[in-house]
A and B are shown apart, each in its own frame.
Chain A
């Protein structure tokens, strides 16, 4: 145990995800030895992120104004919505430069074992957006795990009957791997989602 401020800092850092007691101690001593300007910059950034950052009123991505960068961009295709679990998924899809539509961040996935049901996610807000009639395609891009699959199944049932094209991101074999190492579930999905080369 250290005294006063050092121990307080270690305790606070230790509460961060993925930071254990040893890691917290290492970061605390790094900050102790760092230039005061560097530490000040870090503390300013931490305060600014809490003060400025909020959720986009339309898609619930992180934003610094009422709308996020994607929703505020008039050049984006407003007729396609890509539904993702978390704001970090938006960044991952944006990196591909393949999608020019808008997003909708659900805020997680259906996980009964963690007490998260459909009522805890932003399905109602999605329905409100779809009610405008401007959207013609919904792309479900939940995580390729079973919670993401259950969320996608719920969402597709939710959207059934609406005059919409509903698609799900393909899942299958990773680029750069050997087929023999693929597990049965992934390989099965790859077969389900195989594409037509020619008839």
Chain B
């Protein structure tokens, strides 16, 4: 059986049989893989604690026909342990993990998504910024990497230089008066500025933003994400805004 070793982030776990779990991992080199963790639900499991969501691990697996099997793990950064100590951080982390699971394909390398997710989880655990801002920044950047970057300045349809007042989820972001489809949102100029700052990583602007604009921006990000993922995220409904 061929084996491989890689750095990975645990995206999710599902119970399997009496004491096993199916572990979905985003690895640095191989992309998303699904592997069985044998006996990890037993209290005496040697690596059960490392195979929990949001844990960053060094993992060794052997390849199987449909699922791989985890043989060894070492902890690199037990981020999940810190994130689970607060309901806000745990919910935000869950949304990130679910989004990453949906945006990546099995066995397709996704280094940028891996690095982004690790950075976002680390930032969330560090508690330097508002967890909801970190979440929105992650969602915008994850979508941008996946090819769905929204425009917050120039018109997403014709490219006319902005700023524009209308925002259309289906149209891809800000739209000019000529391209504006019916039903477009008209967010505050500061909201679009905040979203642009989150996308580019300008935390000075983001941290100084008004809660009203944060809420409005979060609504736009959620709508944009759900439109492109086609199916709603279960965890996103749990985020308190």
Interface residues in chain A, defined as those with a beta carbon under 8 Å from any beta carbon in chain B = 18, 110-115, 117-118, 144-147, 149-150, 153-154, 157, 174, 176-177, 181, 183-186, 188
Interface residues of B (CB under 8 A from A): 12, 17-18, 43-44, 46-50, 52-55, 75, 78, 80-81, 83-87, 90-91, 94-95, 97-98, 234-235, 237-239
Complex Cα distance, B83 from A144, in Å, reads 14
The answer to whether A113 touches B84, judged by C-beta atoms less than 8 angstroms apart, is no
B47 contacts A113, C-beta separation under 8 Å: no
Q: Are B235 and A145 in contact (CB under 8 A)?
A: no
- The complex places the Cα of A149 from the Cα of B84 at a distance, in Å, of 6
Q: Are B44 and A174 in contact (CB-based, < 8 A)?
A: yes
**CB <8 Å contact, A153 and B85:** yes
Counting chain B CB atoms within 10 Å of each CB, the highest count among A18, A144, A183, A186 belongs to A183
Query: What is the interface of chain A mostly: helix, strand, loop, or mixed?
Result: helix
Least Cβ–Cβ distance between A6 and chain B, in angstroms: 25
Q: How far is the CB of A46 from chain B (nearest CB, A)?
A: 21
Pairwise interchain contact A181-B53, C-beta atoms closer than 8 A: no
Closest to A111 in B: B94
Contacts A110-B90, A113-B12 given; does A146 touch B234 at CB 8 Å:
no
With A112-B235, A113-B235 known as contacts, the answer to whether A183 contacts B81 (CB < 8 A) is: no
Assess whether A153 is in contact with B18, with CB atoms less than 8 Å apart. no
Are B46 and A112 in touch, CB under 8 angstroms? no
Could you jot down 16 A-B contacts, CB within 8 Å? A18-B18, A112-B90, A113-B53, A113-B97, A113-B234, A115-B237, A146-B90, A149-B84, A153-B85, A154-B87, A183-B47, A183-B75, A184-B75, A184-B78, A185-B52, A185-B78
CB within 8 Å for A18 and B81 given contacts A112-B238, A146-B54, A183-B46 = no
CA distance A150 to B47 in the complex (A): 20
A153 and B87 contact, Cβ closer than 8 Å, known pairs A174-B43, A174-B44: yes
Chain B residues closer than 8 Å to A153, beta-carbon distance? 84-87, 90
Assembled-state Cα–Cα distance A110/B88 (Å):
12
- Complex Cα distance, B80 from A147, in Å, reads 10
Question: Quick check: B91 and A112 within 8 Å, CB to CB?
Answer: yes
- Give the top 4 A-B pairs by smallest Cβ distance, nearest first: A115-B234, A112-B235, A112-B94, A185-B49
B49 A183 Cβ-Cβ under 8 A: yes
Question: A181 — which chain B residues lie within 8 A by C-beta?
Answer: 46
Q: In this complex, what residue of B is CB-closest to A115?
A: B234
A113-B97, A150-B90, A185-B75 given. 20 additional CB < 8 A pairs?
A112-B95, A112-B239, A113-B235, A115-B237, A117-B237, A146-B54, A146-B80, A146-B84, A147-B84, A153-B87, A174-B43, A183-B48, A183-B49, A184-B49, A185-B49, A185-B52, A185-B55, A185-B81, A186-B49, A188-B81
Neighbouring A residues of B44 by C-beta, 8 Å: 174, 176-177
